């Protein structure tokens, strides 16, 4: 097949050839020899390539042909300068990709609406009080802070729901709890969220399969039903449509699967871990006698509320109605009416605020850093393109001399920029996906699932547009300069280092490098700070040997064991495990150690007033010896005390010191949280243990160990192994399967993994910031290298003369080094105050170190200086190796 | 004598109007008819031919030339003929006006 532009090209050749042929013939007729005639014809015709080039511009298919030529030529030029091309593509990809991922995540967590219709109609309901409203609340389930609480009694819910009918639909839900699930013979553990029957209709969520709850489901007479989250249905049940109507065992209670939620509904918050939704009256909180009683006890406040206003109803209309009803549902009115809880409405369209509150600051910090990175990347691209423009001045001049029009030259460079942009675009999508996945994982803390961060392509387009603009504007620079050079008859002047570029223009490049260095200081410093923070926390001494420890949970109490059988079961389990080859010791605890959070109490010495907050754990006699081989004073809890439910306690050494030193042994401590008039639980201190981190590497709270309840329904087993835990785990699993095939092990991890889990956030910061820091370092090294290499290549003549006149290579090296390191140092000097100003914004993310330690500053500056030395050293050495004679000849 | 800017197209169209002719022929004929006064630069002739063809004023075909190789012969299209008449009238009015001013 012949392309139209190909044909045109051949025809042009032939046409020009014909003209020359006729002209030659004419001269031959005038009596010249053939050779002479040929030469004269050529001279008269002029530069045939110029004519052809002009004709090409006039042609119909010119643009097509031109584009093809531009792309091919552009690709060739890019291959010829692989370092610049790679650096530019990486700058683009990393800058745009990382930005898109972070901003997409920020959008999802901070600004995104719940995936339900009309999210603006939703309100979260809570109340503001003056301290915990003890006068009317005995027990609560929810979150309580300075600004109030989010929990209500079931009676309040019912009254409010009725009272606002017509104005709004009010639904109740509670926090998800861990339940043991068994379906088709497969035991597993999941998160169950009890909700009121109108929960889904209030949110206006649809069922993917089957049906959601109706009012009939939320009655004690109705059979227990369950709605599955889409994720659970896919991951645990293999997306089997046949499960609808089947029965699944939840905490050993049969529940009928009635429906599966639509896929888009991730829950009340991104990363919501809920697997199952059950009607409030059949939820896990109803399993205990206290839970059952709580329904009719308006002193137990255990549900959270969400309202959807009817169309046209404002919060201002709804709130007074609720505020009037709320106090009528209390068991007692407060003595001081001013201290009474006051109901509030908060915007609910974006779902629960927990994730938002927790990650707002970290995400804003990351967003700022990644924005800075984009600026550095842009600066770098500008610099690279400027450097490339210089490298190609000769080529441009040649093309202008051969008749290339300015428009054509512009188009050529535009095409090259577009090629670069396209490669960068592809790279940025790859980087974006990788970063988004990584981020989603990092945000999965203990009560969250990994968040599925989907790249927002609007954001990608926006970040892309900014960068592309820089790319295009500065990509055209060489063409613009090239056409100016043409007017100056550049070719005639010969060598590649004469003819233009007054020093003033290069000031732009130097300024860019200084700015880049300043920004890099911020990013590298942040990377150093967060990495050192993580290392400091990780390498801190938890007070025990963290190697060769395995933890796993078991929940026999919710998997079919009667309470009366549990003590024997736990005893057998301990015996079995202890006899397992490779196991050296076994202990059990009611609270999983190093799991952040847990059980806390305010306590005091009986009869005294000062209270201290301590982390509490119920443990077996074998538990403490797993962590420490000695007691500071007194003794450990005994098996007899455990079985007898003795009121004894072992406290940590620092708590003992706080309460009164060694003589605290034998004294009584009591929990200070009890209600007035009720006797607080009291324990005799029988032992003082060394300080052991009970909850996390990040804190060293006072710790108290009590004998574990012997019939607790679930607990965590901790095993110390003689060999690496992975080698012993199969035997441990086998031992438990041998006792009960249907008992799932919950979250089997080594202690190292458990510790790492608690440091996810620190690791997220350290990893991302290190990534950004390394990137910034690489980008600014490339930028600095570009500027200095350009500078020395422009000064080749001058350097040649210097060397010829007796300058030593060492002088040249130090001259170039001085210049380059001067730029770097100036940038750093500007960056340090910025770091100093920004330090307070990251302070609260740090628990291992202070933000501005001299060592951190020294490390960051050292790294930058070393990088700068490499960037400047290469062109310096290259300049010093110039042969003066060669240089002068080129002149 | 160099051509006055903008007159080349007109000269080419007029020359081609006499019958199909190749590029070299156009240059030669302009030279001969103008009594060796008007020298068409080869470097501008071919771009102009290509431009006129793209505008649809000229068409071309490959034919055997009198003495040997194939040559590209240009001829006027209908649009070209119309354009030429308009431009010639325009030029004559212009040249007349210039002459009046110069002879006054």
pLDDT score recorded for residue A505: 45
β-strands A342-347, A139-140: how paired?
A: unpaired
CA of A422 to nearest chain B CA: how many angstroms apart?
33
User: B47, A58: Cβ pair inside 8 Å?
Assistant: yes
Question: How many other C-beta atoms are found inside a 10 Å radius of the C-beta of residue A662?
Answer: 12
Residue A226's SS3 state is strand
Averaged pLDDT, A298-319: 88
Residue A361 sits at the vertex; the CA angle it makes with A360 and A362, to the nearest 5 degrees, is: 100
pLDDT score recorded for residue A479: 63
pLDDT score recorded for residue A30: 84
pLDDT in tens, A67-111: 777 778 778 877 777 767 777 787 788 788 888 888 888 887 788
Stated pTM of the model: 0.66
> Where does B8-103 sit in CATH, by number?
1.10.10.10
Q: Which of B47, B62, B69 is the closest to A55 by Cβ?
A: B47
Residue A223: both structure tokens together: 């059979």
The dihedral sign for the CA sequence A406, A408, A411, A417: negative
Residue A804: both structure tokens together: 């010829």
User: B42, A15: Cβ pair inside 8 Å?
Assistant: no
Which residues numbered 9-38 in A keep a CB inside 8 Å of some CB on B? Answer: 11-12, 14-19, 21-23, 25-26
User: B71, A18: Cβ pair inside 8 Å?
Assistant: yes
Torsion angle defined by CA atoms of residues A53, A57, A59 and A61, in that order, rounded to the nearest 10 degrees: 100
Residue A733: both structure tokens together: 């699993």
pLDDT score recorded for residue A589: 94
pLDDT in tens, A100-124: 888 888 887 788 788 888 888 888 8
Question: How many other C-beta atoms are found inside a 10 Å radius of the C-beta of residue A29?
Answer: 9
Contact residues on chain B for A12, CB-CB shorter than 8 A: 46
Residue A555: both structure tokens together: 């929940």
Contact residues on chain B for A21, CB-CB shorter than 8 A: 68-69
β-strands B58-64, B70-76: how paired?
A: antiparallel
pLDDT in tens, A155-170: 899 899 998 888 999 9
Q: Are A418 and A740 in contact (CB under 8 A)?
A: no
User: A51, B67: Cβ pair inside 8 Å?
Assistant: no
What backbone torsions phi and psi does residue A853 show, to the nearest 5 degrees?
A: -80, 145
β-strands A648-652, A682-689: how paired?
A: parallel
pLDDT score recorded for residue A490: 44
B29 Cβ under 8 Å from any chain A Cβ: no
pLDDT in tens, A694-744: 888 888 889 999 999 888 888 999 999 998 888 898 899 888 888 887 787
pLDDT score recorded for residue A496: 42
Residue B102: both structure tokens together: 């110069």
Q: How does residue A502 score in pLDDT terms, banded at 50, 70 and 90? A: very low
- For the question of an ipTM over 0.85, the answer is no
Residue A759: both structure tokens together: 């440091």
Question: How many other C-beta atoms are found inside a 10 Å radius of the C-beta of residue B101?
Answer: 8
Considering only alpha carbons, which residue of chain B is nearest residue A58? B51
SS3 assignment for A504-548: HHHHHHHHHHHHHHHHHHHHHHHHHHHHHHHHHHHHCCCCCCCCC
Cα–Cα distance, A317 to B63 (Å, whole number): 91
Residue A324: both structure tokens together: 């009037």
With CA atoms as reference, report the closest residue to A697 among A649, A763, A600. Answer: A763
User: B65, A23: Cβ pair inside 8 Å?
Assistant: no
Q: Are A416 and A80 in contact (CB under 8 A)?
A: no
The residues pairing with A259 across neighbouring beta strands, listed in sequence order, are A210, A227
* Half-sphere exposure in the Cβ direction for A127 (13 Å, CA): 23
Each as own residue / partner, the long-range contacts of residues A455-462 (CB below 8 Å, 24 or more positions apart, any chain) are A455/A100, A455/A101, A455/A104, A455/A429, A456/A100, A456/A103, A456/A104, A456/A107, A459/A99, A459/A100, A459/A103, A459/A104, A459/A107, A460/A96, A460/A100, A460/A428, A460/A429, A460/A432
Residue A413 pLDDT > 80 = no
Domain locations in chain B? 8-103
B54 Cβ under 8 Å from any chain A Cβ: yes
Higher pLDDT, A442 or B53: B53
B13 Cβ under 8 Å from any chain A Cβ: no
Residue with tokens 């290298």: A785
Q: Are A381 and A93 in contact (CB under 8 A)?
A: no
Task: Compute the count of residue pairs across chains A and B with CB atoms less than 8 Å apart.
Answer: 59
Q: Which of B42, B62, B68 is the closest to A19 by Cβ?
A: B42
pLDDT score recorded for residue A803: 82
How far, in whole angstroms, is CA A224 from its chain's centroid? 39
Residue A136: both structure tokens together: 């009317």
Q: Which of A18, A57, A60 is the closest to B69 by Cβ?
A: A18
pLDDT score recorded for residue A619: 93
Contact residues on chain A for B23, CB-CB shorter than 8 A: 15, 18-19
The mean-pLDDT minimum among A114-118, A400-404, A804-808, A831-835 falls in: A400-404
Contact residues on chain A for B24, CB-CB shorter than 8 A: 18-19, 22-23
Which residues numbered 608-627 in A keep a CB inside 8 Å of some CB on B? Answer: none
Q: How does residue A588 score in pLDDT terms, banded at 50, 70 and 90? A: very high
Cα–Cα distance, A737 to A558 (Å, whole number): 17
A541 Cβ under 8 Å from any chain B Cβ: no
Q: How does residue A752 score in pLDDT terms, banded at 50, 70 and 90? A: confident
Query: What is the share, in percent, of chain A residues with pLDDT greater than 90?
Result: 13
pLDDT score recorded for residue A497: 42
Averaged pLDDT, A856-870: 88
- Burial pattern A167-200, b for ≥16 Cβ within 10 A else e, equals bbbbbbbbbbbbbbbbbeeebebbbbbbbbbbbb
Residue with tokens 């607790």: A712
- Burial pattern A779-810, b for ≥16 Cβ within 10 A else e, equals bbbbbbbbbbbbbbbbbbbebbebbeeeeeee
CA of B74 to nearest chain A CA: how many angstroms apart?
11
pLDDT score recorded for residue A362: 78
pLDDT score recorded for residue A62: 59
- When the pLDDT of each residue in chain A is averaged and rounded to a whole number, the result is 81
């Amino acid at each position: 097949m012949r392309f139209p532009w190909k044909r045109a090209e051949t025809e042009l050749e032939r046409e020009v050839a014909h003209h020359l042929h006729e002209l030659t013939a004419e001269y031959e007729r005038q009596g010249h020899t053939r050779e002479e005639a040929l030469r004269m014809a050529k001279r008269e015709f002029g530069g045939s390539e110029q004519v052809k080039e002009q004709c090409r511009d006039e042609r119909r298919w010119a643009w097509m042909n031109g584009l093809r030529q531009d792309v091919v030529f552009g690709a060739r030029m890019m291959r010829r300068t692989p370092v610049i091309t790679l650096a530019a593509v990486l700058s683009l990809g990393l800058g745009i990709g990382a930005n898109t991922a972070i901003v997409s995540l920020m959008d999802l967590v901070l600004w995104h609406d719940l995936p339900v219709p009309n999210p603006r109609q939703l309100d979260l309901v809570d109340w503001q009080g003056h301290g915990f409203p003890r006068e009317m609340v005995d027990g609560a389930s929810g979150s309580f802070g300075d600004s109030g609480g989010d929990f209500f009694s079931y009676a309040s819910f019912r009254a409010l729901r009725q009272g606002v009918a017509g104005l709004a639909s009010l639904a109740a839900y509670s926090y998800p709890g861990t339940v043991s699930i068994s379906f088709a013979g497969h035991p597993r553990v999941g998160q169950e969220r009890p909700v009121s029957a109108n929960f889904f209709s209030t949110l206006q969520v649809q069922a993917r399969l089957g049906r959601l709850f109706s009012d009939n489901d939320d009655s004690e007479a109705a059979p227990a039903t369950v709605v599955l989250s889409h994720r659970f249905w896919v991951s645990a049940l293999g997306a089997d449509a046949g499960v609808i109507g089947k029965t699944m065992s939840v905490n050993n209670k049969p529940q009928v699967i009635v429906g599966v939620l639509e896929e888009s509904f991730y829950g009340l918050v991104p990363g919501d871990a809920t697997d199952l939704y059950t009607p409030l009256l059949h939820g896990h909180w109803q399993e205990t006698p206290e839970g059952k009683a709580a329904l009719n006890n308006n002193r137990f406040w255990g549900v959270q509320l969400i309202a959807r206003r009817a169309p046209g109803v404002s919060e201002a209309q709804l709130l007074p109605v609720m505020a009037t009803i709320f106090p009528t549902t209390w068991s007692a009115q407060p003595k001081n009416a001013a201290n009474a809880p006051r109901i509030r409405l908060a915007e609910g369209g974006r779902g629960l605020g927990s994730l938002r509150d927790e990650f707002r600051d970290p995400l804003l910090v990351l967003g700022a850093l990644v924005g800075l990175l984009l600026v550095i990347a842009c600066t770098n691209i500008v610099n690279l393109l400027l450097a490339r423009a210089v490298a190609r001045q000769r080529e441009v001049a040649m093309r202008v001399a051969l008749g290339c029009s300015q428009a054509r030259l512009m188009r050529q460079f535009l095409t090259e920029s577009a090629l670069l942009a396209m490669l960068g675009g592809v790279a940025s999508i790859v980087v974006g996906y990788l970063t988004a996945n990584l981020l989603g994982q990092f945000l999965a803390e203990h009560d969250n699932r990994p968040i599925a961060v989907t790249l927002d392509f609007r954001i990608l387009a926006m970040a892309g547009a900014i960068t592309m603009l820089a790319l295009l504007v500065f990509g055209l620079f060489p063409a613009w300069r090239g056409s100016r050079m043409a007017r100056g008859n550049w070719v005639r002047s010969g060598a590649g280092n004469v003819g233009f570029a007054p020093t003033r223009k290069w000031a732009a490049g130097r300024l860019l490098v200084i700015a880049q260095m300043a920004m890099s200081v911020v990013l590298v410093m942040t990377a150093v700070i967060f990495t050192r923070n993580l290392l400091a926390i990780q390498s801190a001494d938890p007070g025990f040997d963290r190697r060769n420890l395995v933890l796993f949970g078991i929940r026999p109490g919710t998997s079919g064991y009667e309470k009366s059988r549990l003590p024997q079961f736990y005893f057998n389990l301990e015996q079995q495990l202890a006899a397992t080859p490779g196991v050296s010791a076994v202990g059990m605890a009611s609270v999983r150690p190093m799991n952040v959070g847990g059980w806390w109490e305010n306590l005091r010495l009986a009869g005294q007033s000062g209270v201290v907050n301590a982390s509490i754990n119920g443990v077996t006699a074998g538990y403490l010896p797993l962590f420490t081989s000695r007691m500071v004073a007194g003794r450990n809890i005994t098996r007899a005390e455990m079985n007898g439910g003795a009121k004894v306690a072992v406290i940590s050494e620092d708590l003992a010191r706080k309460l009164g030193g060694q003589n605290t042994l034998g004294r009584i401590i009591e929990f200070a949280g009890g209600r007035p008039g009720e006797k607080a639980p009291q324990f005799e201190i029988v032992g003082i243990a060394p300080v052991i981190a009970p909850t996390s590497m990040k804190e060293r709270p006072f710790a108290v160990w009590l004998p574990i309840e012997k019939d607790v329904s679930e607990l965590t087993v901790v095993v110390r192994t003689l060999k690496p835990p992975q080698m012993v785990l199969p035997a441990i699993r086998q031992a438990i399967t041998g006792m009960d095939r249907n008992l799932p092990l919950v979250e089997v991890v080594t202690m190292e993994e458990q510790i790492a889990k608690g440091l996810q956030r620190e690791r997220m910061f350290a990893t991302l910031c290190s990534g950004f820091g390394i990137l910034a370092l690489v980008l600014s090294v490339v930028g600095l290298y570009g500027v200095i290499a350009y500078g020395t290549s422009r000064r080749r003549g001058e350097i040649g003369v210097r060397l010829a006149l007796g300058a030593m290579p060492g002088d040249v090296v130090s001259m170039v080094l001085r210049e380059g390191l001067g730029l770097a140092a100036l940038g750093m000097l500007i960056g340090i105050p910025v770091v100093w100003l920004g330090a307070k914004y990251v302070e609260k993310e740090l628990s291992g170190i202070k933000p501005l330690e001299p060592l951190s500053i020294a490390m960051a500056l050292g790294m930058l200086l070393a990088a700068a030395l490499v960037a400047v050293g290469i062109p310096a050495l290259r300049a010093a190796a110039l042969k003066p004679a060669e240089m002068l000849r080129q002149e | 004598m160099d051509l006055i800017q903008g007159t080349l197209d007109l000269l080419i169209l007029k020359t081609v109007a006499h019958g199909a002719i190749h590029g070299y022929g156009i240059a030669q004929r302009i030279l001969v008819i103008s009594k060796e006064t008007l020298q068409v630069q080869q470097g501008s002739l071919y771009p102009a031919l290509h431009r006129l063809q793209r505008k649809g004023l000229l068409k071309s075909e490959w034919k055997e030339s009198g003495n040997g190789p194939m040559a590209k012969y240009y001829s006027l299209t209908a649009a070209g003929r119309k354009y030429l008449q308009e431009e010639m009238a325009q030029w004559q009015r212009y040249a007349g006006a210039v002459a009046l001013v110069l002879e006054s």
